Amino acid sequence: MATIKISRAKSCTAALNYAQGQNQLKEPDKAWLVNQGVNPELVASLHNRAVVTSGLNIDPAYASSQMKQTRDLFQNTGSTQAMRVIQSFDEHDLNAANPADWDKANQLGQELAQKMAPDHQVAVYTHLDGTGHKLHNHIIVNMPNLKTGKKYHHQNDFKRLAKLNDEIAREHGLSVIDRSKAPTEQRTMAERQLKTKNEYVWKDDLRAHIDEAMLDASISSYKDFSETLSKSGIITHERGKSLSFDFLDTENKHRRARGKSLGADYEKEKIFNELERRNQQPSQSVTNSRASRPSRAFEQRKQQAEQRERSVKSREPAITQSGQGIDRLTVTTGRYTRYISSTAKEFSPHVQRTKHRTRDFGTRVKRLGGQISNLSSAIGAITRKIERYLTQLQAQKQQEQALFNQLQDKLDQSRQNKEDRDDNGYYRTYQNRGFHR
């Protein structure tokens, strides 16, 4: 069966780099492939986490730069640069030790990309590493639509993508999830691993408290529900179409989770529908009805609650010790609070005087700033006058130099004319007297 997950990526480049996983295929994964009978020469040629790559409206080798150019062109400046879809395949449908299935998995990723975002740039990277060595695709969708420039609409898009994914699986003869029998609880890989090791899972602890409240047939309103949880140290927040829960786990760490992240039975709509159903029936009949014909979902809750109760009992010594530590911390905090209060009263007059002095100093600084501003303006005016005077002086100097040059030329011309007259007069005088030069 093929499953999908969808999430937003603030950095498209980071999402692409992770999906490509250049030179990040680990040696244990290569060894696993060889042990499964894959050609050693083919395994030796593998270096990246992505064993097969492809693209829609893009060259996957230049996906990062091309997607950035498109975002710049359409001025995509939002906090989300790309959408990231992970498409996983069951080992009974596609075998990670079969190179032919690598190409088939990538082909199925291309088909999903074509159906989900035909007018977007999409890069598809096929991986075979990870827990269980299941083939899966990392599908990176650039936000801008190539035709309209509008961003990819990602709100509540999981149902549409799940339907498209199921259609592709049926077309290729792959198994499809029966969603009517899907688990009502959402569990991450980390939760499953902790559960396998029989270690504390704080979300299970939170689910147990919520289950205990919902199994109480006398609770028939949101007010009763939230007050019951508050007695266990859980604060409930109603935010639009969802509920969120805050509490301290057994390790005294603050935890917060949305009902959606806990599972379908913990979402606001499911809880409110059940409370409304109880509110419309007499309390006794509700009790009898739930006692005689419990729903499948709440029967599962009861079983899960019993399992968690056994797990929590094994941790009661640690919880008790943590509670004693909290009590000591509360007493110490109270002492410090009283000390701080008395100290604040003692220093209150000093604080008031400091405030007045600070206010006076601020006024003086403001006045000085005004004076400095006026002085700066005066200096600017004087500077401009000096510049004009220097300009005029330079022009006058140039005029005087030109006049001096003219006079010098005239003087030189006058001297030349005088010399010419003297030479001509001397020659004529001696010629008339009968002398030759």
Do both 25 and 166 map to the same domain?
yes
pLDDT for residue 4: 86
Same domain, 103 and 127: yes
Q: Which two tokens stand for residue 29?
A: 């994964």
Give the span between the Cα atoms of 248 and 233, in whole angstroms. 7
Strands 82-89, 122-127: pairing kind: unpaired
pLDDT of residue 284: 43
The count of residues in the chain is 437
Of 143, 159, 161, nearest to 151 (Cα)? Answer: 143
Domain assignment of residue 193, yes or no: yes
Q: Check whether residue 54 and residue 8 sit in a common domain.
A: yes
Residue 224: φ, ψ to 5°: -60, -40
* Enclosing domain of residue 204: 189-314
Distance, CA of 11 to chain centre: 7
pLDDT of residue 155: 62
End-to-end CA distance of the chain: 133
Claim to verify: residue 41 and residue 158 sit in the same structural domain: yes
Residues 277 and 209 occupy one common structural domain: yes
Contact yes or no for 55/124 (Cβ under 8 A): yes
177 with 238, same domain?
A: no
Report yes or no on 54 lying in a domain: yes
Q: How many domains does the chain have?
A: 2
- Residue after which a domain boundary falls, among 116, 151, 181: 181
Q: Is residue 306 part of a domain?
A: yes
What gap in Å lies between CA 290 and CA 312, rounded to an integer?
A: 26
Same domain, 198 and 150: no
What tokens appear for 35 in the block?
A: 């042990």
Helix runs in 183-267, H state only: 189-196, 202-214, 222-231, 259-262
Inter-helix orientation angle 12-20/63-73, to 10°:
160
Alpha carbons 264 and 301: distance in angstroms, whole number: 12
Query: What are the DSSP calls for 112-173, one per residue?
Result: HHHHH-TTS-EEEEEE--SGGG--EEEEEEESB-TTT-PBP--TT-HHHHHHHHHHHHHHTT
Residue 117 and residue 13 in one domain: yes
Does residue 22 belong to any structural domain of this protein?
Answer: yes
Q: Give me the tens of pLDDT residue by residue for the chain, a chain 437 residues long.
A: 678 888 888 899 999 999 999 999 999 999 999 999 999 999 999 999 999 999 999 999 899 999 999 999 988 777 889 999 999 998 889 999 999 999 999 999 999 999 999 999 999 999 998 777 889 999 999 999 999 999 987 666 788 898 999 999 999 999 887 655 555 556 666 776 676 677 788 888 888 888 888 888 788 888 889 999 988 889 999 888 889 999 888 888 898 888 888 887 888 888 888 888 877 765 444 344 333 344 455 555 556 666 656 555 555 555 555 555 556 555 555 665 665 666 666 666 766 777 777 777 878 888 888 888 888 888 988 988 898 889 888 888 888 888 888 888 888 888 888 777 766 655 555 555 555 54
Confidence (pLDDT) at 289: 39
The tokens describing 251, both together, are 């390790």
164, 181, 198 — which closes off a domain?
181
22 and 163 belong to one structural domain = yes
Cα separation, 142 vs 67, whole angstroms: 6
From the list 229, 235, 250, 254, the residue with the least C-alpha distance to 312 is 250
Last residue within a domain, chosen from 267, 299, 314: 314
CATH number for position 46: 3.30.930.30
For residue 241, is it within any domain?
A: yes
- pLDDT the model gives residue 96: 92
Q: What per-residue confidence (pLDDT) applies to 292?
A: 38
Same domain, 175 and 221: no
